[in-house]
Copies of this chain bind each other. A is one copy, B any other.
Amino acid sequence: MPTIYEVAERAGVSLSTVSRVLNGKSSVNKALKERVDQAVKELNYRPNSVARSLANSRTDSVGVLVPELNAPFFGDLMQAVESTLRAQDKHVIITVGRNCLETEKDAVDFLISRNCDALIMHAEALSDDYLLDLNQNKLPIALVNRKVEGLPNACITLDNEKGGYLATRHLLELGHKNIAYISGPAYKADACLRLKGHERALIEAGLSVNPQLIFNGNYSEEDGKIGLLELMARDLPFSALVCANDWMASGAISCARDLGMSLPQDLSIVGFDDVVFAHHVFPRLTTVSNPVADMAEMSAKYILNKVYGQDHNVQHCFEPSLVVRESTINFES
């Protein structure tokens, strides 16, 4: 690998001149610039990014933290972040948090030790205080899908309440009156908001909220199944079910089928997130779209602004929308 010094020698200039033409910051005599360009080409010179980082204490890398690598939702997130950043010659260092406090902390430490210029996180277990600390530690961060008081700019969120509302209102419009709900874990803000939206729709329609029709799951496919069984065991009739994410909806669907129910006639089901497999389940899942990719792209743009002096418009709150497929149907009394 040739160094900047060899380029300088070949071009017959000093290495600072080479540095200048490379970075294009300061102006250089045209003739010299051409000689340098020529030398760069002849030597097939590539600047050493490590040396550059050491000299200007920027690595052009941003750390990314996601709970898992092999889930469609986070796949979309990473895809959007990676392509947005790489288009600006920045790169991503991806780490996994596994929904576990220790692992998430480790991952962040790791990213910091790697001198990332900024962090983009979908943090599940890290506390608000921890995140505030991180940020005050002068490390720019962006938080996807999470709202932290005190970090209004860093947060890129979805209007989860509205999403829950849309799901339930759709069922109400189809004539359903008894609507069960399988929620995400109560300690997650998005889960609470989705549930709140569900309740608002109910109340708005003049119906009451019956806790017996609500089951608290943990967003896993398994809990969709468990939830449905539990709800049915409570012996209150319901003709429709909202699940707080598509995984649980999928679990509920296969469970229903195992019980011999025919869908959607016997039970209308709505999911949440519109992950890619939502149209693989049968019947194809009616769900609430979650524009993760857009949010992720926005988080990357926010970082580009904040750290690399770019100037993108950034939107902090995104709107979900209903995606009607075949898992919901009019209520027939």
A-side interface residues toward B, CB under 8 Å?
Answer: 46-51, 53-54, 57, 59, 61, 68-72, 75-76, 78-79, 82-83, 86, 91-96, 110, 112-115, 250, 254, 257, 276-277, 280-282
Contact = CB atoms under 8 A, between A and B. Distances in A.
B95 A93 contact: no
Contacts of A61: 93
11 contacts: A48-B54, A50-B50, A61-B93, A70-B76, A72-B72, A82-B94, A93-B93, A250-B280, A276-B277, A277-B277, A281-B282
A279 B281 CA distance: 9
A94 B94 contact: yes
B49 A51 contact: no
Given A92-B93, A93-B91, A110-B86, A115 B48 contact: yes
A306 to B, nearest CB: 20
Given A91-B110, A94-B94, A95-B82, A50 B59 contact: yes
Contacts of A96: 79, 82-83, 86
Given A47-B113, A82-B96, 12 more contacts: A46-B112, A54-B54, A68-B79, A69-B78, A70-B276, A75-B75, A79-B96, A82-B95, A86-B95, A92-B93, A257-B282, A282-B282
Contacts of A76: 70
Name the residue among A91, A112, A280, A281 with the largest chain B CB count within 10 angstroms. A280
Nearest to A92: B94
A75 B82 contact: no
Given A50-B59, A91-B114, A114-B49, A75 B69 contact: yes
A138 to B, nearest CB: 11
A78 B82 contact: no
A69 to B, nearest CB: 4
Nearest to A283: B282
Given A75-B75, A110-B91, A114-B91, A69 B82 contact: yes
Contacts of A86: 95-96, 110
A114 B7 CA distance: 20
A160 to B, nearest CB: 22
A115 B59 CA distance: 12
A72 B69 contact: no
Contact of A51 (B54, B82, B91): B54
A287 B113 CA distance: 43
Contact of A79 (B70, B93, B112, B250): B70
B91 A49 contact: no
Name the residue among A53, A59, A257 with the largest chain B CB count within 10 angstroms. A53
